[in-house]
Amino acid sequence: MPSSPFELASPYVIVTGGASGIGLSIVKLFQQQGGHIDVLDIQKPDAAAVTVMGLDPQNVHFHAVDITNQQEVKDIISVIAIQRGIGILINNAGIANIGNAVNTSEEDFMKVFNVNVRGAYNCMHAIIPFMEEQQEGVILNMASIAATLGITDRFAYSMSKGAILSMTLSVARDYIKKGIRCNAISPARVHTPFVDGFINKHYPGQQAEMYEKLSASQPIGRMGTPDEIATLAFYLCSKQASFITGCDYPIDGGFTRLNN
């Protein structure tokens, strides 16, 4: 890979939901840039799958962790802190839900809240004390344009991403004097396996048509790629971004400002 003008703020990185999609692209890029990454995911891929992903098991370590369980998160973070150290946290894990305020069930609402909001809180709750002790750290949260825009039938998802954005600002404010930076990325639609699964499930026989429709919803005329999101994440977690905290970065093909 060509040399980069940016250098990770710390080689010790924790990524949630890093086994697929945007998270996997982040893990791959950070590994290429010298990172030692611990991935917290609900399922741990086997060694063969890790090899297929193009990851070096010496530098990328997967852990089967339910991030909605605070004790599980605390236990694994304590182990990682002793074995390697903690410098960067990327709260990427998340789930989506389709529905409005009436037809979203309480069960679905709480499921989205528990994964997207409680999961991010649990990770920050466990990791920030280690960053405080060393007087430095970087936290990057994956928000969404749904945090600031009205997206049709995304009531629970929008709620969760709005909370992510608010938590980002709160953490940035509370820990700015402790050497901890906290920012967020807000993507529009990104082409991941999740999007393909969504189309296949809800629009059987209309996959090509729906893919084009969803792509066209971005003024730029296409969906983003996981690698594009990962590149922005890399910059925000680099030494060269040391003056940036308390910010949210839309990466949306013009959706936020040009979709009118």
Residue 129, pLDDT score:
98
Q: Which has the minimum average pLDDT: 7-11, 93-97, 108-112, 137-141?
A: 93-97
pTM of the shown model: 0.95
The average pLDDT across 194-217 equals 89
From the list 182, 183, 144, 172, the residue with the least C-alpha distance to 160 is: 144
Give the confidence band of 122 by pLDDT, cuts at 50, 70, 90: very high
Query: Can you give the pLDDT at residue 34?
Result: 96
pLDDT for res 1: 52
Lowest mean pLDDT among 40-49, 119-128, 228-237, 245-254: 40-49
Using the predicted structure, report yes or no on whether residue 2 has a pLDDT greater than 80.
no
Give the model confidence (pLDDT) of 30-88 as tens digits.
999 999 999 999 999 988 889 889 999 999 999 999 999 999 999 999 999 999 999 99
State pLDDT tens for residues 106-118: 999 999 999 999 9
Mean pLDDT over the full length of the chain: 95
Q: What is the pLDDT of residue 212?
A: 93
Residue 194 scores a pLDDT above 90: no
pLDDT of residue 189: 94
